Amino acid sequence: MISQTEENYLKALFALTSTKGEASVNELSKMLDIKMPTVNGMMKRLSEKDFVIYESYKPLKLTEKGRKEASLIIRKHRLTEMYLVEKMGFGWEEVHDIAEQIEHIQSPAFFAKMDEILGFPEVDPHGSPIPDENGKVIVKDFDRLSDCESGDVVKFMAVKPSSEELLKFLNSRELVLGAVITIQSVELFDKSMSVNYAHREMEVLSNMVCEKLLVEHVAK
Amino acid sequence: MISQTEENYLKALFALTSTKGEASVNELSKMLDIKMPTVNGMMKRLSEKDFVIYESYKPLKLTEKGRKEASLIIRKHRLTEMYLVEKMGFGWEEVHDIAEQIEHIQSPAFFAKMDEILGFPEVDPHGSPIPDENGKVIVKDFDRLSDCESGDVVKFMAVKPSSEELLKFLNSRELVLGAVITIQSVELFDKSMSVNYAHREMEVLSNMVCEKLLVEHVAK
DNA sequence: CAATATTGTTAGATTGTACTAATAATTTGT
DNA sequence: ACAAATTATTAGTACAATCTAACAATATTG
Ligand SMILES: [Mn+2]
Ligand SMILES: [Mn+2]
Ligand SMILES: [Mn+2]
Ligand SMILES: [Mn+2]
């Protein structure tokens, strides 16, 4: 009924619309690396199938049906990533591309089994929440580490969707989810931070990195 | 480079040609449930790509390249089935349809990990051999239980590719791979067998069932 | 606010994978 | 050996998913 291609469009549109509630054909086109006329046509098709609200020259929106469909694909993606890391021994930087394919497998039993084996996890290996069977997601709004101040003590909760390189960088610094980070100082000119966590002291993190790390305040 | 569709054609052709070395467009068409003109066209395309030897009105053959490609897909299929049964707790009757999809995942690392976790298995849950990384398969030619005689003691080694229903039937009789079966008697008119195995005595197996069970002689 | 840049849409072409209908070649059966 | 049945092929259609080129609408900016 719904093709792999259509699923990828829905997922991308879901990501783009999750902040403002709407997105442009142009943004979708760039995100998917597919030319605008193709995207435009697909949006018409998906609106025909009642997944998308499409009106000429207006921003794109997902219908409730579209949001649910997208959430369920994301659920499969994140369950898969968690399974690959927890049960198969992959690193968190290796799993995205595999999950990008496995998320399209049609087998409720397969994902139900994963979920069960994992003990019904709430987040994926990057700290992103796993939508439930009905497509509902509990969105926690964490702070970016880059918005914290000297002296803050925070817990590293999630990485913003980003490159494999960032994840490898974090590996090299032994900076893992759950780490409690104390901000020692913030440079004025480049906003880089010196932080302590675990057994590491005065690690320097660039602002580019800090913007990708989502944290929760722990104590004063 | 090679599509999911093309992979399914190759795999089907591999299965059909594994006995005689060749197959007809008609047979392939029936196996895949795709009309003959479509199959014919695809065979031309696959011969263009050097996977198939196609000549008008001649039987179809796989090239060496085609055989290898098919074997590697079958390798992924069977590794997946084994993983699903051994590591995820699925029944052997549940895994084929899932493997039919997962066999198309493009990720050598994913299947290498499966292989490693499983301890480099040589057969799938139905007793079919798993081709190695180079596409080589060790084919053992077992006997069909239906070809055995009263008094024979045999070991149940594999099930011929068949319906989910047969597998469920075997479940219901607790007849599992590795079971040592003693043939008590064979009915003359319908070739049904009365057999003993494990704690079961005088179980009656129809000829249709016996033709699907592959066995190895154990003792006189 | 008019010129320019950007974004969105339409039209038309291409490729992959399917189909049906018509025709041709091969095989089978009497 | 010929007629009939089966199998294979060709031709033409359709739809999904992509593209480029041309044009239209909207947004930006001097
Ligand atoms: Mn991911
Ligand atoms: Mn995907
Ligand atoms: Mn199978
Ligand atoms: Mn398949």
- Indicate the SS3 state at residue B52: strand
Cβ–Cβ under 8 Å, residues B123 and B66: no
Distance between the alpha carbon (CA) of A62 and the C1' atom of D4, Å:
60
pLDDT for the residue A153 = 97
Q: Between chains, do B102 and A106 touch, taking CB under 8 Å as contact?
A: no
Give the largest Cα separation in chain B, rounded. 56
- Indicate the SS3 state at residue B193: strand
Footprint of strand C on the protein (CB under 7 A): A 24-27, 29, 36-37, 40-41, 43-44, 55-59; B 3-6, 33-35, 37-38, 41-42, 45, 57
Measured between alpha carbons, how far is A118 from A207 in angstroms, rounded to an integer? Answer: 34
CA A143 to chain centre: 15
- pLDDT tens readout for residues B86-117: 999 999 999 999 999 999 999 999 999 999 99
Closest chain A residue by Cα to residue B100 = A105
Measured CA to CA in angstroms, residue A160 lies from A141, A145, B186 at distances of 12, 11, 68
Backbone angles phi, psi at B85, to 5 degrees: -75, -50
Query: How is residue B122 annotated by DSSP?
Result: S
Considering every ligand atom shown, identify the ligand nearest to the alpha carbon of residue B8 and give its number: 4
Distance between the alpha carbon (CA) of B195 and the C1' atom of D5, Å:
44
Closest chain A residue by Cα to residue B99 = A105
Question: How many angstroms separate the CA of residue A195 from the nearest CA in chain B?
Answer: 35
Structure tokens given for A101: 């394919």
B106 and chain A: CB distance < 8 Å anywhere?
yes
Selection from A103, A113, A118, A99 nearest residue B84 by Cα: A113
What's the whole-model pTM score? 0.95
Chain A residues touching B114 at Cβ < 8 A? 88
A89 and chain B: CB distance < 8 Å anywhere?
yes
Strands A193-197 and A200-205: antiparallel
Q: Closest partner residue to A94 among B90, B109, B114, by Cβ?
A: B109
Cβ–Cβ under 8 Å, residues A105 and B98: yes
- pLDDT tens readout for residues A110-132: 999 999 999 999 999 999 999 99
B7 and chain A: CB distance < 8 Å anywhere?
no
Res. B219 pLDDT band, cuts 50 70 90: low
Identify how many contiguous H helices and E strands chain B contains and give both numbers.
Answer: 8, 8
- pLDDT tens readout for residues A54-98: 999 999 999 999 999 999 999 999 999 999 999 999 999 999 999
Res. A220 pLDDT band, cuts 50 70 90: low
Query: How is residue B21 annotated by DSSP?
Result: S
Distance between the alpha carbon (CA) of B156 and the C1' atom of C18, Å:
42
Percent of chain B scoring above 90 in pLDDT: 98
A4 and chain B: CB distance < 8 Å anywhere?
no
Selection from A207, A208, A203, A157 nearest residue A182 by Cα: A203
Chain B residues touching A90 at Cβ < 8 A? 109, 113
Q: Between chains, do A97 and B114 touch, taking CB under 8 Å as contact?
A: no
Distance between Cα A98 and ligand 1 center (Å):
9
Structure tokens given for B121: 């298995």
- pLDDT tens readout for residues B120-130: 999 999 999 99
Among B93, B100, B110, B114, the residue to mutate for chain A (most A Cβ within 10 A): B110
- pLDDT tens readout for residues A167-207: 999 999 999 999 999 999 999 999 999 999 999 999 999 99
pLDDT for the residue A86 = 98
A36 and chain B: CB distance < 8 Å anywhere?
no
Structure tokens given for B132: 């190695």
Distance between Cα B95 and ligand 3 center (Å):
7
Query: How is residue B129 annotated by DSSP?
Result: B
pLDDT for the residue B220 = 54
Measured between alpha carbons, how far is A40 from A36 in angstroms, rounded to an integer? Answer: 6
CA A192 to chain centre: 24
pLDDT for the residue A112 = 98
Distance between the alpha carbon (CA) of B57 and the C1' atom of C26, Å:
8
Measured between alpha carbons, how far is A189 from A30 in angstroms, rounded to an integer? Answer: 32
A112 and chain B: CB distance < 8 Å anywhere?
no
Among B5, B85, B95, B98, the residue to mutate for chain A (most A Cβ within 10 A): B98
Percent of chain A scoring above 90 in pLDDT: 98
DSSP string of chain A?
---HHHHHHHHHHHHHHHHHS-B-HHHHHHHHT--HHHHHHHHHHHHHTTSEE--TTSPBEE-HHHHHHHHHHHHHHHHHHHHHHHHH---TTTSHHHHHHHTT---HHHHHHHHHHHTS-SB-TTSPBPP-TTS------PEEGGG--TT-EEEEEEE-S--HHHHHHHHHTT--TT-EEEEEEE-TTT--EEEEETTEEEEEE-HHHHTTEEEEEEE-
- A114-118, A137-141, B166-170, range with the lowest pLDDT: A137-141
Res. B155 pLDDT band, cuts 50 70 90: very high
- Indicate the SS3 state at residue B191: coil
* Cβ neighbours, 10 Å, residue B35: 9
